[in-house]
Structure formats: C-alpha cells, structure tokens
Amino acid sequence: MKTQAHTHIDRRDPETVMRLSRLGSLHQCRLSFMRQLTRRMARENWSFSRPVFDIDANGVGTAVYTAHGPERAYSLVAFAHDLPPEKRSDRVIADAWDATFALFDGIPTQADIERLSKNVPLQETGRVSETELSLSRANRSVRLWEHVVDALAAGQQPDLQQIYQVGYLMRTTAVYGSGKFGAADRENIANRPETCAPFQAEMLSVYLTRAFVRDLVQHIADAKGGDQAAKLDPDIAHWLGIGNSTGLGMAPFIVNHPILFNNWVMAREEAIARVRSVETSSAAEVDHFRSTFERSQLSMTWWRSEHPLQIEKLAALNADLQAISDYVDQVGLTGNHPWDRLVSWSQTKLSEEGQEYLASLILEPYADLVDGLASCMADGNAEAFVIDGSMPISEVRDLIRDAFGWAVDLDWASRENCARAWYVSEEKLEPRMGERFEEPIADYEQPLAPARDAAAAHAMLSEWDDGQPVAEFLLRHPEHRHTVRRAQMTRSAPYGEIRDNTIGATVVPLDMLRAKLSFFGATHFDPRSDRWVRICMYAGAPYPEELTSENADLWVYPEVPA
C-alpha cells in the first residue's frame, strides 16, 4: 500500500533549525548529493570505462575514467605525481599534490589530455576551459597508503581495522566547480537532468577519483610486489572512501547563497515533516528503520576525532544511540504518529548531534515521500535577487525582525559580539577569519555578518516613515542594499539565514563547513581545528563496475558482518 502523506506536522521553525550549533550537527540523509548521484546512475544504467591508464611503476602518469549516461558522457582526467613528503599539505597554500584531476564534459581527445596535462597539475595557477566541469587534487593518507601497498605487495590483504579508522587512501583538498579557473559555469549544465541537482559534477568527479585511487594503489603494489602481489579484496576495497579536507573557503558559501542553502535545508525539513506526519508505520517500514539504525551504528564506531569539540559531541552521540535503541525497544514504533513521537521525544532527551542524526534516519524507510524533494534543491530563482522598491518601510522592518529578531537588540559595539571579521587574503585570494581588534583586517571585511548588518539597517529604517516605499531609503543608503535584498529573500527562503552571530568571539566556523558537507553526504567529520575539517566520502559505496539499484543507495550504512 502506498504511504499517504498527511502534512499536518509543520516543518521545524527556522529559529530552531538555523542555529549554528544545530547546523554544525547535521548528518547526511536520503537527499544528500552523493546518494542522489549514485541512485540516478544506477537507475539510468550508466556504464563506466577506463580508456587510459598510463602510469609508471613509480605511480606517475595519466588515467582517464569515463562515465556514460543516457545522453552524455563525463570523464575524469587524472594526473598522478611523485610528491616529496615535505610538499604534502592539505591546505590551500599548497602548490603540489599526489594527484590532480579535471572532470571533462564528454570524452577527451589526446589533444585535450595534452592541454590539461599542462594546466591541471598547477591547479589554481593553471587554466582550464569551458569543456571542464571541475578541477581538484588529492593527497595520500601516507600511513594507510603505505600499509595497503606494503600488504598487497607482500601478497597479503590490508588490515580492515586500519582502513575503518582512516577511511580513505587519498583525500581531496579542494574540488573547484562552477566556472572556477576557467571551467564551465554552473549555468552551462544546470538544465541537464543529471547535473540539475547541486554539485552533481563535483560528486561524480570524486566518485570516479575513488575508482582511480583504488586502481593506482593496486598498480603500485603490483609494481613493488611483482608476481607475489595480492589483488585487493573487493570487500575490503568497499571501505575505502575518499577523504576531503575542507577549510574556511567553504564557510562563506552558505552565507553568500541564501536561496540555495534554504532549498537544501527546506527540502530536508519538508522530508522530516512528511515522515513525522505518517499516521502509522508498516512492519516493513519499522524493519527498514531498525536495520538502517543497526547498520549506521557500525559506521559510528569508526568515527574518530582528536578535536575536543568533536570528542565531546561523539560521546554525547554514543549515549544518544543507546537512548534511541532503548526507546525503540521499550516504546516501539507502532501506534499513532510513531515518527513524530520519536522526534518529539528526541528533542528533550538527545543532544543536537543525536537529534539531527535521528531526523535524517527516520527518512530512510520513506523513499516515496522523500526522494522527490531532491528536485527542489537547486536554485532556479534568479528573480529573488531583484529588490522590490515598492515595499513599505514597515514591511522591510518586519521582515528583518522576523529573521533577525535576536540580533536587532544585541549590542553590536560590544567587543565580544564583533570580535571576528571575515576577510580575503591577498596571498591566496581565499576567505579567512581574523581577530578584528588584533589584526589590521577590519577595512577589508567581507559582508558575512548578515545579522549585524540587519540590526544596523533596522535602526536606520526606524528613522523613516512606515508607509514610504523602501526605494527612496535605498537611494540615500546604498550601504543597506544587500541587507534589504536578503530580508526580502526570506519571504521565499525562510531557512536562508543563519540565526546566529557569525562574527562573535565564540563563533565556530566549523559549524558552517559541517552544514554544507552534510548535504554533500559526508560522514566521519574530523575537525583539525575550529576552522578546518576532514571528512569521508563514498566509504562503503559500490565501485562503478559494481553499481546496481540494489546497492546504489544504502551503501552509507555498512552491512553488519555476519
């Protein structure tokens, strides 16, 4: 029987959802961009090929991996390098990497590969063109790489425990898309079914990168071990994801794209509301939830971090997992509105990390209610940028108060409320965050404190007549244009604004990174400081040649070994 949606349970209040600590506790879910991609590729029966693998015994050379969709093909062009250890840095200041990549729109000719070989290894200082959809690079996890090469070369399989704990052989340190460094603009591919959802080209690039890295480690082990080298057991290879190291460069994205970010959050909130509105659950749905819950707990045991903030959150999450288990055993998931009761219970009994984990997990049995929302996650609303100057001053003030009520009365002159400032460094042209009162950065501040700016605009607007159109105000006060624009955007994008201070003394930029990465489908967040984080992508996923509708979706939850 088809599940009926009765959406009488409202979406959660943006005031609750959009706090930084909660955004910094989000987990992947059915709507995550990686899972959207693998589901689509399986559903559409994509095929994969490796037309070029020209790598020497030292691991230096070129490879091409092509994904063939129903209408178009996409190719990862990979360059493998010999990187001295002292050059290995995850940070954006690096200028050499173990491997560099471009995602080519189609199938590259030899001339394309030649052109890319002169540019892709240079990354930010090279140029790509309109036929490239992304530019990226990756470094080895030295410990795991050496372990896997040595084991295979000696004719043995690598140790699974080490694989679980590191999670990947290489981690990407940037995946640039959307017109960066000369690549094709997002608009060029936004109308294609397979790349309409956000970040699908980037996710495909990482998916193919994972296959390349598996092949590369085997190739090097074969070269080292000769005839006695072992073939990597496919069941072990599954647990090799691709790492990613993400820094502050990503944090401003969710502030700079309020409509897009709203669409991600709102799709997930709508999904949660739909499942909470389910009146009764079937036995199959309860079984699905229980089995996914079991499987996800295994993944959680592999989640390690040395960062004090995350250690604390993981301890709370582990307690939460036990509490959920107890609830499911004792209260059960039958009766009226079981998911709503579970979520309501979690709101008082679990940490935010646990609440958001659970909110994502209850979506799993309900593909039919949830998966269609994926089509709402792109930003197709360019009109929202245009300010409506006919709006009366009073209405603009109301909009500001709705989204930033907490900020309007805050003392923004107080040092702790504006201790930080976001700026772009001359050196790498990348966003950074600094101490406003200790470094000479205030003059270079980026507009990444919407709440402070909203409070300033609100105060200035109060000096104007309520009924006057805002156009006249904006003519005199162009410094408030960006704030009025954002305020008007909140009408269609209630989840577009972070309801917290992004420049306060205690802001943790990590929360902004995690929010974005969770929508990609990242797992195992491992902060390396308060402003950069390592994550794992595609661990447990089928490799391209194994992808089927059966394994295309739930790979993120490992099967419990028999």
Residues 395-454 that bind other proteins (CB under 8 A): 423-427, 429-430, 432-435, 439-441, 443-444, 447
Q: Closer to other proteins at the Cβ: 371 or 526?
A: 526
Q: To the nearest whole angstrom, how small is the minimum distance from the Cβ of residue 127 to other proteins?
A: 8
Q: To the nearest whole angstrom, how small is the minimum distance from the Cβ of residue 410 to other proteins?
A: 21
Site string for other proteins, 188-207 (x = CB under 8 A): x-------------------
324: tokens are: 């959920």
Q: To the nearest whole angstrom, how small is the minimum distance from the Cβ of residue 303 to other proteins?
A: 18
Site string for other proteins, 360-389 (x = CB under 8 A): -----------------------x-xxxxx
Q: Closer to other proteins at the Cβ: 144 or 374?
A: 144
Q: Closer to other proteins at the Cβ: 254 or 321?
A: 254
Q: Closer to other proteins at the Cβ: 71 or 426?
A: 426
Tell me which stretch binds other proteins (CB under 8 A): 115-123, 135-143, 152-160, 345-353: 135-143
Residue 529 binds other proteins, judged by CB under 8 A: yes
Residue 129 binds other proteins, judged by CB under 8 A: yes
Question: What is the footprint of other proteins within residues 215-234 (CB under 8 A)?
Answer: none
DSSP string across 211-270: HHHHHHHHHHHHHHHGGGPPPPPHHHHTT-EEEEEE-GGGHHHHHH-HHHHHHHHHHHHH
**For the sheet containing 533-537, what is the strand order?**
47-55, 61-68, 73-80, 99-105, 132-140, 168-176, 241-246, 533-537, 523-527
DSSP code of residue 126: S
Sign of CA dihedral 10, 16, 20, 23: negative
Q: To the nearest whole angstrom, how small is the minimum distance from the Cβ of residue 297 to other proteins?
A: 27
Q: Closer to other proteins at the Cβ: 358 or 507?
A: 507
Question: What is the footprint of other proteins within residues 282-321 (CB under 8 A)?
Answer: none
Residue 478 binds other proteins, judged by CB under 8 A: yes
User: Would strands 132-140 and 61-68 be described as parallel, antiparallel, or unpaired?
Assistant: unpaired
Question: What is the footprint of other proteins within residues 542-561 (CB under 8 A)?
Answer: none
Using the CB atoms, write b or e for 526-548: b if 16+ within 10 Å: bbbebbbbbbbbbbbbbbbeebe
Contact 211, 537 (CB under 8 A): no
Cα dihedral 187→191→197→198 (10° resolution): 0
Among residues 142, 154, 315, 560, which is the contact residue for other proteins, using CB under 8 A? 142
Q: To the nearest whole angstrom, how small is the minimum distance from the Cβ of residue 446 to other proteins?
A: 8
Q: Closer to other proteins at the Cβ: 21 or 529?
A: 529
Residue 484 binds other proteins, judged by CB under 8 A: yes
Q: To the nearest whole angstrom, how small is the minimum distance from the Cβ of residue 262 to other proteins?
A: 17
Contact 35, 528 (CB under 8 A): no
Neighbours of 104 (CB within 10 A): 25
Q: Which residues contact 125 (CB under 8 A, 6 or more apart)?
A: 95
Residue 455 binds other proteins, judged by CB under 8 A: no
CA distances, 14 to each of 236, 258, 295, 312, 432 (Å): 42, 13, 31, 25, 27
Question: What is the footprint of other proteins within residues 243-262 (CB under 8 A)?
Answer: 245, 247-248
Contact 54, 109 (CB under 8 A): no
Q: To the nearest whole angstrom, how small is the minimum distance from the Cβ of residue 540 to other proteins?
A: 23
Beta bridge partners of 242: 537
Q: To the nearest whole angstrom, how small is the minimum distance from the Cβ of residue 200 to other proteins?
A: 17
Q: To the nearest whole angstrom, how small is the minimum distance from the Cβ of residue 20 to other proteins?
A: 16
Q: Closer to other proteins at the Cβ: 187 or 368?
A: 187
Contact 417, 410 (CB under 8 A): yes
222: tokens are: 């074969």
Q: Closer to other proteins at the Cβ: 88 or 401?
A: 88
Q: How many residues line the site for other proteins (CB under 8 A)?
A: 73
Residue 184 binds other proteins, judged by CB under 8 A: yes
Residue 507 binds other proteins, judged by CB under 8 A: no
DSSP code of residue 154: T
Tell me which stretch binds other proteins (CB under 8 A): 90-98, 209-217, 222-230, 535-543: 90-98
* Side chain identity, residue 541: A
CA distances, 396 to each of 286, 383, 449, 485 (Å): 46, 18, 18, 10
Q: Closer to other proteins at the Cβ: 307 or 313?
A: 307
Residue 528 binds other proteins, judged by CB under 8 A: yes
Instruction: Indicate the burial class of 322 (C-beta count within 10 angstroms; 0-12, 13-18, 19 or more).
Output: exposed
Neighbours of 367 (CB within 10 A): 14
- The distance between the two most distant Cα atoms of the chain, rounded to a whole number of Å, is 84
Residue 467 binds other proteins, judged by CB under 8 A: no
Q: Closer to other proteins at the Cβ: 317 or 484?
A: 484
